[in-house]
Structures are given as structure tokens and as C-alpha cells.
Structure 1
Amino acid sequence: MKKLQSSLLLLFLFFAVTAFAQRPGGQGGPKVKVTGKLIEQDTKQPLEFANVIIQTTSNVTVNGGLTDAKGEFSLEVPAGTYNIKYDFISFKTVVISNKIITEDTNLGTTAMASDATQLSEVSITAERSTVEIKLDKRVYTVGNDMMVKGGTVSDVLDNVPSVSVDAEGNVALRGNQSVTILIDGRPSTMAGSNVAEVLRLLPADSVDKVEVITNPSARYDAEGGGGIINIVLKKGKADGFNGSVVATTGDPANHGVSTNLNFRSENFNIFSNIGYNYRKNPGNSMNNTKYLNEDNSAKSYTDEKRENVREREGYNASFGLEYFLTKKTTWTNSVNIRRNTGGNDTDTYYQNYDADHVFTSTRYRNNNEDTDETNVNYSTNLIHKFNDKGHELKIDGSISMSKDDNLSGISNTTLGSDTTTYQRTLNNQEENRSLLQADYVLPIGQNSKFEAGYRGSFSTLDNDARAENLVDGNWANDPNYSNYLEYKEKVNALYTQFGSKAGKFSYLLGLRWEDSNIDVNLLSTGEYNNKKYNNFFPSAFLTYEFNQNTNASINYSRRINRPRGRFLNPFSGLESNINIFKGNPDLNPSYTNAIDLGFLKKWSQLTLSSSAYVNLTDAPFQFIRRLNGLYVEDTPVIITSPTNIGKEFRFGFEFNVNYNPFKWWRINSNFNFYRNQTDGDYSYSYFDQKTQQTVNAYLDLNSSGASWTTRINSKISLPYKIDWQLNGNYEAPQNTSQGRRVGVASANTSFSKDVLKDKGTIGLSIQDIFNSRKMKFETFINGESSSYSEMQWRQRQVTLSFTYRFNMNKNDKQQQQRQQQDGGGEEYMGG
């Protein structure tokens, strides 16, 4: 039955694509082509997404479409006499009446003038669409989204189509967590730290847009089997001195202020972003475990309930200078500094029961953690354009230093007794990273292009992790949870690719070679792991253009997913001492072969992007939950650790829709269905502290399961310059190799109103309206344990924000964003 359902869904996708591709553009008879270009009258900039409608003299629409990034359009109609209408929000409509078209006709360049009356009345609708769908990627413009005001980058990503962020902050693209997160095209975090925590520390107000690339070409870094998410930070482009200030407050405590300043002249551009924030995030979790005998009968029960409050105070500042050396050469330098301090006070209660579920004892554990994180990054970028036809050379370099210190004091008490034990943990990380790359682009003729480049990434990380127990007034080291990790990574890459267009067909063929030399050393135990390998990563893209607004494509690429961060670090903390996450320093990289079939169709008010995809992964990372033989007051300790397991086969399809039914209403939605099949097993052994025997265990990890996710986002412009945004998300249940993930639904909403003659905006947002964002799992380990767990990282959040723009109204901002559309961040992602 499940196979039949999957087949029907894929068949539906095929017929949908076929139907859209064959949708008629007009009436019968021989077709002729009508082309032209639209620009803004004042700035001479091309108008993208302007409506072009061709009607008969009796006002019957024959064909229509949208202009592309160059402001150009191409439509086919039967020979005849037509009225041609150009329409764009906040611009005066242009109509060409009774135009006789008997052969291919170029209408030339038409300049559209701003409609001052319309601008003042409905200026909000002049903003570029929050989600822009392209054939090879999707661009999410953060500045237009009220929902993330006062939030973090983690909140931003959780509003991006195809992207999901679970309660622990793990990011997935189309349900796949093997995704690379970049900031301005560069690695987003330290090799040994938790990327989720970095995304929660960076404020959303510093982000301009997010680029999602599901199947990158050889030009991009091969890292990330599930694709690439690039977070582009704000860099001012508008002339003169301008900027904005955003102040926020909220409950639970969420207070901050940030400013984005920019000064641009003929010879240089200075930009900066400075911010401060203070947050308190209450969270909670539970883990009810039934420990089993070999015959799966109950041995004992433990219910673990935890409440915590994460407190963070952060400062971030970035400064940059873009210097126009000549008309063809630009040199940009920037410095980014981030500092965060805070703590995490956690109270955990353990209710213990015997085999008959009769209460035996309660244990209370308090973990008081202090954190101090600092990151400094310097980057430089030189671009030389040999001509205005795309012949250019880009050279990039960056150096960064990161420090992350964590110190925790822990007390453990069995209620009803006078016994209290004390522990403390220390987890200090320090990393240095450097990056050098060069990208060369050479157009060949009118329709071909050659590219080549180099990228070198080098990093070193030292991680000192210690756990100590207070014994007779002295601190004694606990070797089970202490280690010194040294991580060194050197990755050199070369790539080349060639693309061309012949008629309606275009192709892009590329090959990337990467040489990796990685050391993961545990100095405290004398374990040394060297991973040295080199690989070729081919890619191939084929696109067919049915017409100006309809494209279909098929593409292939090979990707790699290197283990980093908490995947490698054997120790991450002891908030719980019976359910512990432990990294695996001996993890190997996994390799993915990815195939995508894509379809893109644009109408005057609707844009549809759909794709069917297949991923074949060798040695994927699987989180294995198992006993380790240790006990805490007769309660077994369960370890969760990543391990390379067999193979994974994943296929699915997704739809992304942008729909503007009216000028005052904008809708975008995403639906993703996927099915995973994992083939593998895992054998392990441990020494049981209680029985004093070695236990050999085997886990059959063969599993298959389907799931789906969907989200819809609606933005409505109400009277009195009030905007209302509402979105809903749902992640369906999914079977895993050791159990089942439970489905979860959530909703967010926000309101905003323009004030002070559109120079200011007041916003009110509610994240997780129903307080339902919880990660829920059911886990079963044959002969060991059965458990149900819930985790809520942050409870419902209400945020009030005020934005003030000076020397920049909303329409200036639209122009600024249009200028940025093809720049910012992506240049760093090549090589």
C-alpha cells in the first residue's frame, strides 16, 4: 500500500509538470514572438517581475508573463492586432493600443514612471517578494519579514521554505540534516562547536537574505550532502548616508537594539552593523525510560523532567569598506566581532520506580552553567571586471579566531536523604581558521562561459573538556568524561566548469577535486586519527526553456559530508548524567550522489517551483542510542552517539508556490514529501559495572519510513498601513532506525504599522502561538530500553519592535535590495 501511495504521488508530479509545460499560451494559428524590455524612468534600472499582458482589442487575454532580472520579456501570440499592457506595483500603467503584430516584433525599451499617489497609499506592497523562486536556488529576503524582528538567525531559517529547525536547533533542508551553513559564503562556526548555538546568537536584524541551493554545481564547496544554505549579512548599497535602527523588547526577556549604517560615494562605500541583545529563554524537556531485561520485560523505570533558563547577553559589530579602485576594480575589507556571555540554570528531577512501577526515590540535579564566547573575523575581497560582459576575476581571503569557554557547577541530591554530591565541568574551545580562494570567469561568444578556481580552507581547534567530582573536599578528575581534543583540517580544492546555451537547451558541466587532510587527536588518551583522502566531485546540469516563464531541468552532483562539531567531541556536558550525548572522533565522511528534476513556471500572479529528487548516501551518520555499562544510583546510563552506518536511500518531491491573488495579499507555501530507507547494522560491547561482565550487543538498523512537511505564509496589507503576517508549519511523524519521531505543528503571527511618514515601523510578533514547538521521540532498543522523550528549547515568545529609517524610506529600500539581488555573499561561495 505504501509503495502504491508513493507511486501515485510521483505520477501526480509527472502529470502536473507535463500539464504546465504544455499549457497553451494563446489561441490557435501560427505563433509570432513579442519581445521587449522595461526599465525605471528615473534610475534606468531594469524592472524585474513586471506584468506584461497581451490582449485582443476586445480585452480577451491571449498571453502574459513577467519580466526577468534584466527587465526583458518574450511571449508568443498568434498574428493579429493587440493591446499590450505593462503593469508594476507603484508605477504608472503603460498601454500600447491596437498594435499590429504579423511577425516577430521587438517593442524596444519602455521606461515606466513612478506613481507618486500610489506610492504614498500602498508603499508596503512595493516591496520585493519575501521569497524569490529561481530555477537553481531560492532567495529569502529577511528585511521584508516581520516575523523575525528581534529574533535570531535560527528564527530566520525556520521561516525559509524547504528549511526546518528542530527544538534543538538542528537545521535540515528538505528533511536532510546533512546541510552546510555558510555566512557570507564562509563556514559559519568552529569545527568543534555547535552550529545551532551560533545561529541562536547571531541577531536576525543583521541578515539581509538567505540563499538556499539544493543541488550546487562544481563551483561551490562540495561540503553538505543535503545542499547549501548561505546567510548573507547586510551591506549597504544606496548612495549617500543612510541606515536604520531597530529596537526590540519581549516576553520572555528579549531586549535589544541594532543599527545598520551606510555611506556611499563615487569612490567608496562604508557599511556597518552594530547590535546588542539580552535574552532569557525558558525551556523544558522530559525523558521517560523503561529499562528492559533480555526478554523485554520491565526491569525498572525512570522519569526525567528538566526545566532550564538560558540567559544570553550579546554584542556584535561589523565594519566594512568597499573601495572602487577603478571603474573595473573593487576592493572590499570588513571586520566582524561577536561577543556573547551568559548562563544556563537547569533543574532536573528523576523519579525512580521498580519493575512493578512502584515509586522508590526522587533525585534532584542542578546544573549552573556559565558561558563566554568571542569571535573575530577579517575578510578581504578583490574583484576585477575585464569588461561588462562577465569576464572577471575574484580573489577572497579571510582569517578568524574563535573562543568558547563553558564552566558548570553541578549538585546532585537524593530527596529524603542528607547526601549531596558535587561535580563541575569545563569545556573550553579555541579555533583559528583561514580561507583563500580565487574564481575566474571567461565568457566565450554570446552563449558560453568557462569558469575555474581554487579554494583552500585551513583550521585548527583545541578543545579542553574536563569533569571533576568533589571527593573529601578535593576535586578529582573523572576520566569517563574528560579529554583534550585537537582537530586540524586542511582542504585544498580546484574546480572547472563549462556552460553553454543552444536554442532552448542549456547545459553546465563541471568537475571539482578536493584534497582533505584531517587530524582528530585525543591527546589525553593518546588516540590519533588521521583522515587523508582526495576525491573528484562531478556535476552536470541540463535545462530546457519552454518559453520566457517556463523552465525544466535535470541535474546531478556528488557531495561530501565531513563530521564536525559535536559529532566529533567525546564530551559536551552533563546536564543529565543518565542520558548523555557523546561525539565520535573516529567518524568518517559520508558521500552523496544527488539527482534533481526541477520545474519552474511563472504566471502574472503565481510562481511555481517543483522538484523530484533522489539522494544515495554511503556511510551516513546515524545517532545510536545505547547502554554503556555505567550506573548512577542503580539507574543505567544511556549514551547517544553518531556512527557511520551502511547506506541511505532518500527520494522525494516538493512544491514551492508564490501567489499574489491581490496587490494587498501575498502567499507563499512549501510542501515536501520524502521517504528514507536505511540499510545497516551496528555491533558493540561494553563492560557492565553492576554485573562485572562484558556485554556484546547487536542492533539491526534496517528501516524505512516516509514523512512530509508543509508550511504556508500569508502577508496581508490592511487599511491604515497595517500589515498582518501569519504562518503555519507541520512536520509529519517519521519512523527511524530505533523508533519514531512524533509529528508536530506550530504557528506564528505578527502585525506591523508604518508611522512617522513611513520612516518608522512598529511590529508585534508571537512565535509559537500555541506553545507546541516540541521535539518528540519514541525509542526502542531490544533487550535494553524503551523511552519517550520531549524537548522544547524555547517557550512561546512575544516581541515588540520599532524600526526607524533615516535617509531611506521603504521605496529606497526596495531599490537598494534590487541592486543587491545579484550580489552579496554568493561571490565567496565559489572555488
Structure 2
Amino acid sequence: MKKNTFLFILVSIIAGFVATVRSQTTASFTIKGQVSAQKRAIEAANIMVLNASDSATIKMTVSDKSGEFMFQQLKTGNYLIKVMAIGYETYYSNPIKLAFAQTLDIRLKPEEKELTGVTVTTKKPFIEQKLDKTVINVEASPSNTGLTAMEVLEKSPGILVDKDGNISMKGKPGVLVLIDGKPSYLSATDLANLLKSMSSSSIDQIELMTNPPAKYDAAGNSGIINIKTKKSKTMGYNGSVTVGYGQGVYPKSNNSINLNYRRNKVNLFGNFGYNYYGGYQELNITRNFRTNNGEDILSIFKQQTNMKRRQTNVSYKVGMDYYASKKTTLGFVVNGFINPSTENNGNTTNILDPNSILQSTTKAASQINSNLNNVALNLNGRHVFDSTGKELTMDVDYVHYNTLNDQMFINSFYDNTGNKMLPDQLLKGNLPSDINIYSAKADYTQMLKHKIKMEAGFKLSYVKTDNVSSYYNQQNNQWVMDSTQSNHFIYEENINAAYVSFSKELSKKWSIQLGSRVENTHAKGIQLFNGVSFDRNYTQLFPTFFLSYKPNDKNQFSLNYGRRIQRPDYQDLNPFYYFLDKYTYSVGNPYLLPQISQNIELNHIYKGLLTTGLSYGVINDLITQVFNQVDSTHTTYVKNDNIAKVQNYTLSVNVALPITKFWKINWYNQLNINQYDGFVNQGPIHVSGINYNTNFTSSFEVKKGLNMELGGFYRTQTQEGTIVANEMSQLNFAISKQVLKNKGTIRLNCRDFLNLQHFSGYSHFQNVDVQLYNRWDNRVFNISFTYRFAKGKAGVAPRKSAGAIDEASRVKSNN
């Protein structure tokens, strides 16, 4: 392991050193400009710098949402600019003799051209660094083939995923995950399972925002991750089909079809996915039970659990946009998934005396059958009042989740010679859950006097969860309800929010944005079995501040501040028991309080190649998993609790640049310092830790249409509340080839080909003394084939408004 880790660090350092040396080579000249048509900026236009003598491609980029682009590090010479965009004639500039910086105003002409058999692709970088967010273009990396959304996140810069699938960003926990701008409302466990079943082939982009503006929900201490699924606005019909197969210890499969048809004022779209996952997990836990003074060991529990999981996910999305006029668009989207799974676990617990001599053994066999179903309906509208930017968008949403969870546990007890000591204990559980979410929102944008942009809006939401936990013990061949472990919990939550923000360009170099969001939360819950209830009502203010300074074309600075909230997950509030075996379980906590964070961040971008960030954050009433140990029964359980105030200091550096014409690299580095001060189980906790993590992606264009990629990540030992997680690493390799006249793509990859990634750690505090080791089906070989097709006339895509979740005439955000 140490040798592999050293190899990983050495590869990263060499790649980063080459990148750094390369970045010191100054560009001779710059060509920048804007692409527009019919007074509209054209986003995602494919722009190329060609050698004027032989039309060889020198550089390539894509225009941003404002139609702007920039080429740097161009030497003196004669060049042509070529621009391609769907729905427009290809543009060629006159020869440009580059002896000084050039600014171009490129205006495209619409075309009416049949697209039969023609596939136009736009080449984007895997990672785009912007001042307010980081954008991951999923399909740009061949190593994403066959992966799940969770696995793509895991290799994204600044993202860490712990042993239970909990996500942190830039060293801070509490991330709000949006799908097409909408929160999932799932618990951390269910969200992790959803992301593990979502195929990367259905994802277009992933946006990472550490300090979102006021129009976004204030939820999420460390920011927002917005997963944007694929969509199209091309006239006629177009789509793609992807089939994929993966082989680890067990097989996996990812398949999807995306369809779009647009004619006149109607745009129909839909996608369907079928994914299968077979995998295993090996979990080893060693627990020492000590005397009251904590010095002498009384007994040792060595526990080994082997879990085999089979999971199927069927997902769908169907929608329509109706362009009632040039200014008004109406639409609806229906989407959902069916996610059945079966988990078979075998557990052996050896109970030893202080001298590690076997005293007895407990064996547990369990089967868990679950089915998570979801359906969601969105009605949306958008109206543009005039050309000055006055705009109104509205959304109404209904989301329903239904979970069925049936469990069966058999515990057998043996002495140190293997003979049975006691009769078997049988326990079965039935844990259904229903979640209903209703929400409505509106966003309004208008330009005021003195070129001040105002954004304002509101959101109303109501959530009700109905959760039942029924456990039964077998007595005399009869199932008898266990009232000590059964419960019925109903939770209701109403959040009313409003926001306003103002932004202005103070000069060509300075711009500012000020915003504030107010949220009133009314939450109440009741346990019907014992009548215990709570009722909370509180109002919070969440200000945001953004300041940008651009002294020249090479440098850009930004300073931002935000206050955010992380409310407990619905399932974490359920006071239910979830068993691994007789001695190990987790339990909910209905007394969890929301955690509040404040974050301030300073960023600098140099030449679009080097991004440096420095941030400070403080979280009060941190929600985190805590191990609890009951010495009298030799049981250990995990419960989420508010334990501490956490201070976080983060330094991040990202290098993204071409090393040569065929070799590009993206190298992300992050240093964190976390300090925890508070109480756990009425005892003080004062711990701190420093950790470093890095990931890199190195891509090679071997020849036209053939690409290779090497990437991976490494993180040092990390303090996660009361748990210390040891180092972790991974290396990936991928290759992709364009076939069938660029209408098809074959991708091969191997995830974690050295089989480095696993989790190990420990928790030592008060009477808890636990060591953990966890390994899963991580080394996987994937192959996939994607075929793209289109027929019709290219149309002009409608303008996209600013903001990650304000996409034109499509699924609007649910802030």
C-alpha cells in the first residue's frame, strides 16, 4: 500500500511540476471576442484558430453563455478563425496577421439545413474553472464511461465521499445536491443510493458552487452540487443510445436512450435508463470494551461482515416545452425511477477475553429487500417582457417517494468449541416510508436605473413524511411485535422563503453583487407509539456578498461571503433502529437541530489556467455521526448528533493547461485544517486535524478521434468529527475512439486498476474504542458504445438566462 501511495504521489508531483513549468511560458498575443446572431449571444459555439497556410487546427475553445471566448499564448503569425454552431452557417474570418492583441465581433447567419446523418459535436474541457463555480463536463472524460454519478463526483476537484456516501466539498460537510436545479429531499443514505444508481451517460454537467447567490436555497453548509441531465433544442428529432457493461467481482450494466423532437412551437423530450449493479462489501470492526477508568480491556469483539448487493434502477423523464410566443414558454416534466435492491449479509462476531482467547461466537445472517420509488411532476412557465432583461419564471412541483424495506435477521450463538449455546434468535422488520413534497416558486429579473440588475423571488414548500418501523420476534413459532423497537413517526415541515439581490458592474474592472434571503421554517414531529413530539418555528436571514476585480486580461479576483443552513435529513429524525447484527445498529435522532455555517472565500484566476482559492468557514451545531457504546450489553450504535463548533481553513490550487498540442492536464490540490470544539455524550471534545487531497486528469489525443486518459486522487489521513479516516487513493485509465463518421463512440476504462481504494479508520473517545476496515467492489473494467442520430432542420436555441438553474424553457430550479 505504501509503495502504491508513493507511486501515486510521484506521478502527481511530476505531472504538476511539468504543468507549472509549462505555465511560466508567457503567451505572445491574445485573440478574444464575442459570437452572436440576430442580437443574441451564442453559447457553446465551437471556435477554432487555424493556421492560415494549411488550415491546421492550432487551438479550440467553446463560447460561454455570453458568447464570449478567448485564446491565449498565440505566437506571431497568420491565422484564420473558424466558428461552428448548430443552426448557423459555418463562419470563416479573413486572414489575421497577429502582431498585437485582437478583439473580434463575430456574427453568424442562420441556416435552414437538413441534418440527416449529420452529428455536430462540441468539444469541451473536462473541468472548467469559473469565478462563481466549477463546471464538470462529464462526457468530456472517457474515464467516466460506465461510472455512476457518485463515482464521477468522487473524482471531481474538491469533493470527498466518505465510507457511507456522505459528500463534503472543500473539506466542509453538508452539501445540498440538486438534480436539474431541484433538491431531492432524500436522506443522506437514500441520496447516496440514488447517485450510485444514476448512470454517467445521462449526465451533461455537474456544477460545484461553494457560495451560491441568494436565489438558491440556503440549505447546504458547504455549498451546492447541481447535476444537470442531458437535453437538446435542435429542430427535428435527435437523440443518442448508450449501452455499457462493467465487470468487477460482480457484473454491472449501464444503458440509456435520450430522445428529442422539436417542430414549430412544440419541443418534446424524454430519456429512459436501465442500470444493474452487482457488488460486495467487506466490513471489519474491532471493538475493545474497557473498565470504567478506560485502562484495562475486559473483552474484545472482532466482527467480520460480508455483504452482497444486487440493485436495479429504471429511470425515466418525459416533458414538453410549448413556445406560445417569442416571449412566453410553458412546459411540464414528469420524471421518476424504480430502484429495487436485495442485500444478503453474513456476519461473524468472535468474542475474546483480554488475552485474545476466544470465548464465544455469534453468527448473524440477514436479508434486506428494499424498493425505492419516485415520481415527480413539474409545471413551469417563462415570460420575457422586453429586451432589457425583464423576465419572470414560475414553477410548481409535486414529488413523491415511497420506500418499502423488509428485513430478516437470524442470530446463532456458539461457544469456543463451536457448539450451540442458545436457541437461534429471529427478528424481522417492516419499515415502509412515504414522503410527499409540494412547492411553488417565482423568480423575477429586471434592469434598474444606472445598470443595476435586480433579482427577486419567493418559494413556498411543504413536506410530510410518514414512517413506520415494525419489528417482530419469533416466539413459539409465532411472530410477536417488539414494542421496544417499533415506532410510527410523522414529520411535517413548511418553509417559506423570499430573496432579493442587486448586482452592478462598477467599472470595466470592478463588479459587485449584494443579496439576502429570509427563510421561515416550521417543523413538527410526533412518535405515535409513545406520544413524544416536538414543534419548532424559527426564522433565519442569509446574506450573500460577491465582489469581482479584473485588473487585466490575465488576472481575475473574487471575494464572496455567505451564510447557510443545513437542516437534518428527514430519515435522520426518525427514531428508528436499523440493525447490522445483534451488537451493531444505527438509530435516528428526533432532537437534531439545524447547523448554521458562515463562509468567506477569496479566489484568483490567472490566464484561465491557474485558479487559487483561500477560504475560512465556521459551523455551529455540526451534525455528524457519533459512535456510542453500551458496555453492559456489549452493543455499539451509530447516531447523528449536534456535537461541536467547527472551524475550517482551506487552501486550494488548480492548474489546467495544455502541456503540448496533444497533452492536457488538470491538477487540483487542497489543504484543509479542521478544528472541533464541543461536547459528545455530555463529554468535551477538542480535536483538530490537517489533511491534504489531490486529484489529476491527464488526457492525450493520440490521433484524431482517439483519446487516452490517466487520472486519480489521493487524500491523507482526515479527522471527521470523532472518527479518524486513514489515507485513501485511486488511479484510473481510459481510452475512447470515434467511429461511424463520428456518430458513434467506443469507450473503455478501468477504475482503480491498482485496487488501491478502501476505507480504514478508528474512533477513540470516552468509552468508545473502535477500529474499522471497509473494502468494496471498486476495481471495475467498463466498455460502452454510444450512437448519436439526428434528422431535421437546425433551429436557433432560445436564450439561456443567467444562473445554474434558470435554463430557458426547461426544467426550472426549485429554490
Q: Which residue number in structure 2 is paired with residue 797 of structure 1?
A: 780
Gap change, CA 1:681 and 1:759, over 3 Å in 2:
same
The structural deviation recorded for 1:264 is 1.5
Q: Deviations over 1:756-790 (max 9, x none)?
A: 222222222222223332222111133x2422101
Matches within 5 A, 1:752-767: 752-767=736-751
Alignment of 1:346-385 (within 5 A): 346-385=345-384
Return 657-666 or 173-182, whichever deviates more.
657-666
Equivalent residue, structure 2, for 1:297: 296
Residue 722 of structure 2 corresponds to 738
Q: Which residue of 2 aligns with 1:165?
A: 161
Please, which of 462, 467, 473 is the counterpart of residue 466 of structure 2?
A: 462
Question: Map of 1:162-561 to 2, 5 A cutoff?
Answer: 162-190=158-186, 194-251=190-247, 252-295=250-293, 296-415=295-414, 416-418=418-420, 419-445=423-449, 447-503=451-507, 504-561=509-566
Amino acid at match of 1:347: G
Deviation at 1:44, TM superposition (A): 8.9
Aligned mates of 1:314, 1:150 — CA distance in 2: 14
Q: Which residue of 1 aligns with 2:629?
A: 627
Distance in 1, Cα, partners of 2:23 & 2:504: 22
Distance (whole Å) between structure 1 residues aligned to residue 549 and residue 392 of structure 2: 29
Aligned with 1:807: secondary structure?
strand
Which residue of structure 1 aligns with residue 15 of structure 2? Answer: none
2:356, 2:732 → 1: CA distance? 40
Aligned pairs for 1:675-686 (under 5 A) are 675-683=673-681
Considering Cα pairs closer than 8 Å and 6+ residues apart, tell me whether 1 or 2 has the greater RCO.
Answer: 2
Q: RMSD of the TM alignment (CA)?
A: 3.7
2:206–2:228 Cα contact (<8 Å) kept: yes
Question: Matched residue pairs, number?
Answer: 762
Query: 1:473 & 1:531 partners in 2: Cα distance?
Result: 45
- Gaps spanning 5+ residues in structure 1: where? 1-19, 28-32, 56-63, 115-119, 684-697
Which of residues 618, 621, 626 is equivalent to 2:620? 618
- Cα distance in 2 for partners of 1:826, 1:362 equals 58
Q: Aligned to 2:173, what secondary structure does the other structure show? A: coil
Instruction: Give the TM-score, by structure 1 length.
Output: 0.84
Query: How many percent identity over aligned positions?
Result: 26
Counterparts in 2 of 1:25 and 1:505: CA distance versus 1, 3 Å: farther
One-letter identity of the residue aligned with 1:550? N
State the AA in 2 paired with 1:389.
Answer: T
Q: Provide the C-alpha distance between the structure 1 equivalents of 2:252 and 2:71, rounded to a whole number of angstroms.
A: 51
Q: Secondary structure at the match of 1:147?
A: helix
Q: Report which stretch shifted further, 658-667 or 698-707.
A: 658-667
Hey, what does 1:747 align to over in structure 2?
Answer: 731
The amino acid of 2:253's aligned partner reads: H
Task: Write out per-residue CA displacement over residues 290-347 of structure 1, whole angstroms, 9 at most, x where no aligned residue.
Answer: 2111232111111111111111122111101011110111112010021121200011
SS at the partner of 2:152?
Answer: helix
Inter-CA distance 82–263: structure 2 relative to 1 (3 Å threshold): same
CA deviations 1:464-497 (Å, max 9, x no partner) are: 1122221222223334432212111100001001
Which SS does the other structure have where 1:680 is aligned? strand
Give secondary structure in 1 for the equivalent of 2:659: strand
- For the 8 Å contact 2:395–2:441, the answer to whether it is kept is yes
Asked if structure 2 preserves the Cα contact closer than 8 Å seen for 1:399 and 1:434, the reply is yes
Partner SS state of residue 546, structure 1: coil
1:111 Cα offset (Å): 6.5
Tell me if structure 2 keeps the 8 A contact 1:443–1:449: yes
Deviations 1:107-131 (A, max 9, x none): 54376999xxxxx9x998x511122
Matched residues in 1 for 2:198 and 2:61: separation?
A: 39
Give the 3-state SS of the residue equivalent to 1:594 in structure 2.
Answer: strand
Distance 1:808 1:725 in 2: 32
Amino acid at match of 2:325: T
Which residue identity does 2:778 align to in structure 1? Answer: Q
Distance 1:586 1:176 in 2: 23
Q: 1:73 to 1:736 in 2, by over 3 A?
A: closer
Paired residues of 1:321 and 1:334 also in contact (CA < 8 A): yes
Alpha-carbon shift at residue 70 of structure 1 (Å): 3.4
How far residue 213 of structure 1 moved from its aligned partner, in angstroms, is 0.7
C-alpha change, 1:52 and 1:498, in structure 2 (3 Å) is farther
Contact 1:701/1:737 (<8 A) preserved = no
Partner Cα distance (1:358, 1:283) in 2: 27
Cα offset, 1:739, TM superposition: 4.8
1:538-595 Cα offsets, whole Å, 9 max, x none, are: 1111111123453101111110110114432233521233222222110111111110
Is the contact between residue 79 and residue 98 of structure 2 (CA under 8 Å) also seen in structure 1? no
Q: Would you say 1:594 and 2:599 are equivalent positions?
A: yes
Structure 2 stretches lacking a partner, 5+ long = 1-21, 53-59, 85-89, 112-116
**Superposed displacement of residue 47, structure 1:** 6.7
CA contact (8 A) 2:62 2:123 kept: no
Q: Which moved more, 1:771-780 or 1:324-333?
A: 771-780
Partner AA of 1:804 in structure 2:
Y
- State the Cα distance separating 1:824 from its structure 2 match: 7.1
**In 2: Cα distance, 1:321 partner to 1:75 partner:** 38
- 1:194 deviates by 2.7
- TM-score normalised by the chain length of structure 2: 0.86
Matches of 1:431 and 1:262 in 2, distance apart? 31
User: In the alignment, which residue of structure 1 is the partner of 2:134?
Assistant: 138
Choose which of 12, 32, 37 in structure 1 pairs with 2:34. 37
SS at 2:308's partner residue? strand
Contact (CA 8 Å) 2:615, 2:651: kept in 1 or not?
Answer: yes
Deviation at 1:531, TM superposition (A): 1.9
Residues 344 and 370 in structure 1, CA contact (< 8 A), matched pair in contact too: yes
Letter aligned with residue 601 of structure 1: Y
Specify the SS of the correspondent of 1:157.
helix
1:38-53 alignment runs, 5 A limit? 38=35, 45=42
The residue identity in structure 2 corresponding to 1:721 is G
* Residue of structure 2 in register with 1:3 after alignment: none
Per the TM alignment, residue 534 of structure 1 is displaced from its structure 2 partner at its CA by: 0.4
8 Å CA contact retained: 1:52, 1:84: no
Task: Compute the displacement of 1:821 (Å).
Answer: 9.9
Residue type of the alignment partner of 1:558:
R
Letter in 2 for 1:459: V
8 Å Cα contact 2:290-2:299 kept in structure 1: yes
Alignment partner, residue 7 of structure 1: none
What are the superposed Cα offsets for residues 713-734 of structure 1, whole Å, 9 maximum, x if unpaired? 1222223733222211112102
CA distance in 2, matches of 1:220, 1:198: 22
For 1:221, what is the secondary structure of its paired residue? coil
